[in-house]
Amino acid sequence: MGTVIYWVHASVDGFIDGPRGEFDWPVMGPELSAYSEALDDRTTTLLYGRPVWEMMVGFWPDADRLGNDPHTRAFAPFWRATPKLVVSSDYPGDNWTDRVIRPDDVRDLDGTILLTGGSGLAAALTERGLIDEYHVATHPVVLGGGKPLFAATDTRRTLDLRSSRVLDQNIVVNVYTLSRP
């Protein structure tokens, strides 16, 4: 099995989007962008659950032509060039999807797999012990509701803090690994 990295932006109150699904609050300053790009440099495959995939495929194919944001201009070509897998039981795929898989198929993947966003898939893979690193960027905003960092599950998992750093003066990135007995 390869290395699975979960990279996610969260609010201080533990949500990955706002009460109406809004994702307009993460600020990608130069240090956070560089951190994200360093994760991209390690990545051989992008992994998405269906809800996040539908958001990504609606934006990233032409994102760098729509504006001048430095992070967008750097990530869009990487996104287009990198193999993309979608975890779903009923999604047929599309022109940008390299393959549709099931959660347990993640065990058979090689390389470094980057899961971005999505609380449901992150919870499912955590429950199966399939995420090796959790990179959580906590932004200084209270959303008051929305989708939680992890979807509800019956299994408790303990994480070990591997590193913590402040980027762009106010975003805390914590890196965790799953505690192994």
What pTM does this model have? 0.94
Q: Does residue 91 belong to any structural domain of this protein?
A: yes
Q: Does residue 74 belong to any structural domain of this protein?
A: yes
Write the pLDDT tens digit of every residue in 24-66.
999 999 999 999 999 999 999 999 999 999 999 999 999 888 8
- Residue 6's pLDDT is 97
CB 137 within 8 A of CB 164: no
Q: Name the residue with tokens 């750097």.
A: 74
Task: State the amino acid at position 133 in one-letter form.
Answer: E
Q: Does residue 114 belong to any structural domain of this protein?
A: no
Burial class of residue 21, CB neighbours in 10 A (0-12, 13-18, 19+): exposed
Domain that holds residue 56: 43-103
Q: Does residue 136 belong to any structural domain of this protein?
A: no
pLDDT exceeds cutoff 90 at 67: no
Q: Does residue 138 belong to any structural domain of this protein?
A: no
Q: Does residue 86 belong to any structural domain of this protein?
A: yes
Q: Does residue 144 belong to any structural domain of this protein?
A: no
What total of structural domains would you count in the chain?
A: 1
Write the pLDDT tens digit of every residue in 71-126.
888 899 999 999 999 999 999 999 999 999 999 999 999 999 999 988 999 999 99
Helix (H) or strand (E) holding 133: strand 133-139
Burial class of residue 39, CB neighbours in 10 A (0-12, 13-18, 19+): middle
What's the DSSP call for residue 62?
A: G
What is the share, in percent, of the chain residues with pLDDT greater than 90?
82
Q: Does residue 180 belong to any structural domain of this protein?
A: no
